[in-house]
Structure formats: structure tokens, C-alpha cells
Amino acid sequence: EWFSSMNLPDAIHYSLKRIEIELFSPGSVFSIYSLIASFSCAIFILALLRFRRRGRVNWQAMSRAIFSRNLLIRDSTLADINLFFLSVVFMPAVVGALVISSNSVAFSVHAALNQLFGAFGPIEISFLSKKLISTLILFLAYEIGYYVDHYLKHRVSVLWELHKLHHTADVLTPLTNFRNHPIDNLVFGYMLAIFIGGASGALDWMFAQKTAIFSVDGKNLIFIFFLWTIGHLQHSEFWIPFRGLWGYLILSPAHHQIHHSRDPAHFNRNLGSVLAIWDWLFGTLEIPPQRNPKLVFGAEQDNKNPHSLYAILITPMINSIYALFFGVFQRIKNLSLILAQGLR
């Protein structure tokens, strides 16, 4: 109703404002500041790796590898740009609803704990200590929520058909982070609301006060640190692997590039966001090799052009609905066979 009441100048102003916030807010997931910082980290790390391997850095060769014109003109990148505008302009209303949902979960958990165990807090520690603990716990809640959501989307066919859009990217750039179907984003948001809201409610109960964390523009400071260092590089083609102990703790850009690989040996691997520990614990971790294996990206689609607007918005919904009804039909069929065998 609010969108329908806007005239064209208002709609243009709103869209430009949303894009401005996304590009120039320090806590945005696509701010120019985090992009520059992450890109600078990439140049430093790649130069260091080449120097260790060859004893020198060929800056001309590095510049050719980094500034690839081919990435900018691919249909895959253009599709990512379309979804970027869709996400930035139209998703804030959805995000607002998700914040309410997270707060509702926190309130319900807090009330349930009070009902079951009575008042717990306050714990006699400093406000700074409470803030540090809350920042860490809510970051871990985000991480496990991300992993569970991602694991289900790779295992449940109804969810996979929506999530597969993200894997149809045949080149990786930071814009690929926005290559998600709107319904896929909704599922992800509500999954995070459950985990983050639940953790927040438990913290409210434990500390007998509203949870406070270290944040930038409302985003957890630990996540922002990751974003400003290697976060954007996960959706890039810079081969930066973490190996040894670090490879079991942190998901490097190479970890996530393996996740996008078309090699069947890499399917359903490295499902986490920042931490590798959930993949390690649940058997989905794939440590990247030191040398770039020249991975091929993209998921097979029925469409001739998987990057068209129809393919990125309509096809996933059709396939997801089909998977839902096919799954229900299969279960009814299996149940009828079991009943038929029992009657014999």
C-alpha cells in the first residue's frame, strides 16, 4: 500500500536512498569501505603468497588476474547486478519484519525461561564483560543459524530449488552475495530470527537486562571485522586458501570457492559463513589445496539462459513447487505400498 501511494519522483528518491545507504554505511554488507578494505587485503595476501613461492612479485601478471574485464560483461554478473537492486530496494521492508520476528522470539524465550526457572540474573559482572559475552554468543548464534539454514537448503529439495539460483553463477564477484531468490532470503531471515532471537532471549534472562553488543550500524562487530578483511573475497576468484589449523577454524575464500565448484566431489561442502568449525564437527569440511585447481563454477539449469529474469525469479518457484508436490506424491505412494503389503 505504501509503495502504491508513492509517485515516480518519490519512488526514484527512495531507491537512490536505499542504494546510498548500502554503498556508504560502514555496517552495510556491500559498503565501498569494506570492499576497498577487503580488496586491499586480497592484493596484500596474493602478493605475499607469490613472493613466498617465487621470491618476487610480477605486478603486471597480478593486475591482469585481478582486473579481469571478462567478469564485468558476463551474463552471470549482470544477473547479480539485477538481484542487487532488487535486494537493496525492495528487501528492507522484509528485513524490518524479520527484526520484529527476532525480537518476538527473544521475548518468548525470555518469558519461557522465567516461567520455567524463575529470575536468574543479574550476574555480578561489569557492563563491558556482559557486552563482550553477548557479542560473542550472538555471533556464534548467527554462525550456527547460517550453517543449519545452508545445510537444509542443500539437503531438502524444496529449499534447494530456490537456493540453486545462488549456484548458477558461473563467475564469482562480491555481487554474487546478492544472487539469492527473495523467498530464499525470507527463509534465511526467519532461520536467523530463531537462532539469534533465542540466544538474545537467553542472554536477557541471564543478565536480567536487554542484550547489548558491540556493533556497527546494528551489525555484530565480529562479523564486520570478517567482512572488512576476507568476507567479500569468498565470492571472488582470488585463490586464498587457509590450511593447517586455520583451515579447520576459518572459512577462507578458497573454502567457499570449493563450495561453488561444479565438481561432484565438492557438492554440499563448506556450508558455513565465517567459521569452519561447524563443517568440521558435522563432516562437511573440505580443506582447499595450496595451489589453485582452476575450479569451474555454476549449477546446471533446465533453462538455456540461467541468468535471465525469468530464470532467476520464476523458474526457482516453479521447480520448488514441483519438488514439494512430487515429494508429497512419493510419500503417499510409499505409504500406500506399505499398507498394501500389510493387508496381504
What is the full DSSP assignment across 225-260?
HHIIIIIGGGGSS------HHHHHHB--HHHHHHHT
Contact between residue 311 and residue 303 where contact means Cβ atoms under 8 Å apart = yes
What pTM does this model have?
Answer: 0.90
For 220, the enclosing helix (H) or strand (E) is: strand 219-220
Cα–Cα nearest to 173, from 46, 274, 292, 77: 77
What pLDDT does 87 receive? 85
pLDDT number for residue 95: 61
C-alpha cell at position 69: 574485464
Residue 332 CB partners (closer than 8 Å, separation 6+): none
- Supply the pLDDT for residue 273: 96
pLDDT at 255: 98
**CA dist., res. 154 & res. 259, Å (int):** 11
Alpha-carbon torsion, ordered 122, 126, 129, 130, to 10 deg: 30
In which residue are the cell numbers 602478493 written? 47
Report helix, strand or coil for 173: coil
pLDDT value of position 335: 66
Q: What is the pLDDT of residue 1?
A: 47
Rg of the chain taking only CA atoms, in angstroms: 22
Are the C-beta atoms of 238 and 67 separated by less than 8 Å? no
- Residues of the chain where predicted confidence (pLDDT) is lower than 50: 1-4
Contacts of 271 (CB under 8 A, 6+ apart): 147, 150, 151, 154, 259, 278, 279, 284
SS3 track for 279-310: HHHHCCCCCCCCCCCCCCECCCCCCCCCCCHH
| CA 297 – CA 167 distance, rounded (Å) | 8
Instruction: Report the 10 Å Cβ neighbour count for 314.
Output: 13
C-alpha to C-alpha distance for 104 and 106, rounded to whole angstroms: 5
| Helix (H) / strand (E) containing 165 | helix 157-167
- Which residues does 49 contact at the CB level (< 8 Å), separation at least 6? 240
In the chain, the amino acid numbered 162 is L
Q: What is the pLDDT of residue 90?
A: 73
**Secondary structure (3-state) at 215:** strand
Distance, CA of 7 to CA of 16 (rounded, Å)? 14
